[in-house]
Copies of this chain bind each other. A is one copy, B any other.
Amino acid sequence: MVEKAKMAMLLDFYGDVLTDKQREAMDMYYNLDYSLSEIAENTGISRQGVRDRLQKSEHIILELEEKLRLYERFCSMKADIERMIKQLEQIRKLAPAEISSIIEIAQGLLDK
């Protein structure tokens, strides 16, 4: 069982491989925190239909991550970049302009 916050991030990462309907249901459930019944009401399918759609979507996403490990790699990169920024900040006084510009690049990486 993947926790909700992690699935929301995986969805952000891999969501574009889903169909529009799958992505819509996943978005409602993981980002907007709708209940199954609320999603059913909003999409006009049964509660069980919503459950199936979510499960299928989760399966697609988890299988991709299991094979590609791209999200895991991005998380590990993110941790390193944050560590780098911390160390840069500690020595920023040595060359404020130069180091600020490097920090800016590193921070830009976190938004890619």
Contact = CB atoms under 8 A, between A and B. Distances in A.
A24 interface: no
Copies in the complex: 2
A99 interface: yes
Given A94-B94, A112-B73, A87 B68 contact: no
A98 B105 contact: no
Q: Interface range on chain A: under 10, 10 to 19, 20 to 34, or 35 or more?
A: 20 to 34
A91 B80 contact: no
Interface in A85-112: 87-88, 90-91, 94-95, 98-99, 101-102, 105-106, 108-109, 112
B101 A87 contact: yes
A95 B91 contact: yes
Contacts of A64: 17
Given A80-B108, A80-B109, A87-B102, 7 more contacts: A13-B68, A17-B64, A17-B67, A68-B70, A83-B105, A91-B98, A94-B94
